[in-house]
Amino acid sequence: MTTLVLCVDRANDIGRKTGLSTPVVGWEAVRSLVTDVGLADPEDSSVNCLLAALRTTRELRDEREDAEIAVISGTSDSPVGADRAVARQLDDLAERYDVESAVVVIDSAEDERLVPVVESRFRVDAVDRVVVRQAHDIESTYYLLKQFLGDEELRSTILVPLGVGLLLVPLLLVQFTPAVAMAGLAALMGAVLLYKGLAIDEFLSDAPDQIRDALYSGQVSVVTYAVAAGLAIVGLFLGALAIRTPGVGGSEEVLVPSLLFVYHSVPWLALAALTASAGRLLDELIGSERVSTSYMNLPFGVVAIGLVVRGFAGFLLERQGELPNLELLGRLALTPVQRLAMFIVAGIVVSVVGVRISASVSDETLEDVVDTPRENES
């Protein structure tokens, strides 16, 4: 049983430059062929291919394998004729040798097309691609592009958005100025990259199943999430209305409208987050009859952050004259600094209360876990 090392030359460069007919079989015959090809054209990459085949044969023989080397080429000007000529030479080798497997050595992308022809006759254990160092970048780029084009997921991720963008370029240039067209195209490509990079497509594909499972399982968080979404929309809407309605100072700067948006939307956004976290807390309580510390801390953390953010926004707006002074109990007017300090202290108090409640709940849960094994032992 022989391992056949095949040096494939589809373009018949070896036969055309040396005048020899293929197949050329045997160690000494191929060594002589290397000299003939090198003298005929020292720059031909076939010399490297022949030397690589000789080295592979030597390595197999060093491993105590029965290896034989052969050189085949396509002796025809047409691609179909060249492939059929290679097929005939392979059939001749199959008759002359008891071939168990083959190792194919090639030096170009054109020669690689003959690998399926070899596989139809012999079992191919390996394909050795010989890349000359001077042409390494070109050959490597080709193989990378070939691998890229063979990957369906990469094609759909890169080529499809790129093709759509190129198709939109002339349409945008007809309707808009070049600057607007390029800006729109860049925004589109950026949105596509974020869509794939953030795995939004996977989230959207899994969302229907998750919603269906949540509805069938009777989770309270499904309803609270819907309520939280509504509250968030209300908060964003009220923040937008605050920007459109000038305040006391009527400033047209960018900073003041942004602070107005934050000041009016934060309470509703915090309430939305509080509602969502409350639903998740109820699901945890109903499902396991125990509440983890993280779920218990979340509502208090949301309220504390909302108070602090609203306090800083109110402080800055009051200094700009966009908000009236805050009155405590309808009588005592607070300065901007006192107003900010009150919101910060309130946020810290809420956070500390949340930590204390979470700690007490976790301690009770730990005691229950410890007492349960004792009751079982008794």
Spatial CB neighbours of 82, under 8 Å, sequence gap ≥ 6: 10, 11, 12, 74, 75, 76
Q: For position 54, what pLDDT does the model report?
A: 92
- Whether 65 contacts 121, CB under 8 Å: no
Return d(Cα 276, Cα 350) in angstroms, integer: 18
Rounded CA separation 57/28 (Å):
12
Residue 235, C-beta contacts closer than 8 angstroms, at least 6 positions apart? 264, 265, 266, 267, 268, 269, 271, 272
Contact 261, 239 (CB under 8 A): yes
pLDDT value of position 55: 92
What separation in angstroms does the CA of 26 have from each of 6, 30, 222? 11, 6, 76
Class of 2-129 per CATH? Answer: alpha beta
Give all strands (DSSP E) within 39-78, no chain letters: 67-73
Residues whose CB is less than 8 angstroms from the CB of residue 38 and which lie 6 or more positions away in sequence, other chains included: 44, 47
332: which strand partners?
A: 328
Q: Please list the helix, strand and coil fractions of the chain in percent, rounded to the nearest 5, in that order.
A: 70, 10, 20
* Beta pairing class for 124-129 and 67-73: unpaired
> In the prediction, which pLDDT does 11 show?
82
Amino acid type, 215: L
Place of tokens 């108090």: 349
Distance of alpha carbon 126 from alpha carbon 102, whole angstroms: 7
Strand partners, 322: none
Sequential pLDDT tens for the chain (378 residues): 688 898 988 888 888 888 888 888 989 998 998 898 888 888 778 888 899 999 999 998 988 888 899 998 887 778 888 889 889 999 988 888 888 888 999 887 788 888 889 898 889 988 888 866 555 555 566 666 766 666 666 667 777 777 888 888 888 888 888 888 888 888 888 887 777 777 777 777 777 776 676 666 667 777 888 888 898 899 888 888 887 655 444 445 677 888 888 888 888 988 988 888 888 777 777 766 565 666 677 788 888 888 888 888 888 888 877 777 776 655 667 777 888 888 889 889 988 888 887 777 665 554 554 454 444 444
| Length, in residues, of the chain | 378
Beta-carbon count within 10 A of 311 CB: 21
Q: What is the pLDDT of residue 248?
A: 42
Q: What pLDDT sits at residue 247? A: 47
DSSP 134: G
Token digits of residue 224? 């609270």
